[in-house]
Amino acid sequence: MRQLRREVPLIVLYGTFVRHRVYWQSGAAPQRMRFSSNEITQILVAVAALTLAFTISQLGGFYALQGGLGLAEVGLVAVASLIAVLTAFLFHELAHKAVAQRYGCFAEFRAFPMGLLLGILTAAIGFLFAAPGAVMISGPVSPRQNARISAAGPGTNFALAGVFLGLAVALSNGPPSWYVPFRIVASVGFVNLFLGGFNMVPFPPLDGSKIFAYNKPMWVAMVAILIVIGYVGWSFGVFAI
């Protein structure tokens, strides 16, 4: 196992709505995907807070909650929100982590408490804007590796969006009893497509800026995938939500 002989900057490179921060850490770079107990705790906190925020936002905010919504409706929205958070947010961050660790770097998720609180507060008035956290990367990476680590997050979102799109199209041809599963699957697919697409914007600190800087053809190809999935979803009425 390669040893890092000197301290290297631990930099916030990946995640949605994050700012550049520098930390310091030294030690051995892991050769496989690992999680510390602190990281697991922070992931659980971020997932729980985002699920709550998504649920409140989808229900129309606290004012809508006061309107006497049924428990079944709230539970259904909560389940859909959890699936959306796990696939669109958590898998996005874990993809960054997996690729970074494959290159011999330290990579751990860190939640942003104020960003999570912001998400819950904005959800209370009917829309959602959150800064849940980011994967911290420690270790030297080449521009090529940096671009690949960056592409892993939105690439995962696009793959999941394609899978959920296919499921939604299949469910749309079913009986009326399939309508609720269809809406859940379609919503999760759209959230993945939106998050992946937003992160492809070529401005720092978003993933698209690092991909565009190193490999413009890769960036164009990923945007083309985004457009194709979005167009197919719109054509079939899946993403017309």
Active site residues: 93
How many angstroms separate the CA atoms of 12 and 210, rounded? 13
Helix (H, G, I), strand (E, B) or coil at 158: helix
CB neighbourhood size of 175 (10 A)? 7
Q: State whether the Cα torsion 32-38-44-46 is positive or negative.
A: negative
How many angstroms separate the CA atoms of 55 and 80, rounded? 8
The C-alpha angle 165, 91, 197, rounded to 5 degrees, equals 55
How many angstroms separate the CA atoms of 89 and 195, rounded? 8
How many angstroms separate the CA atoms of 191 and 210, rounded? 22
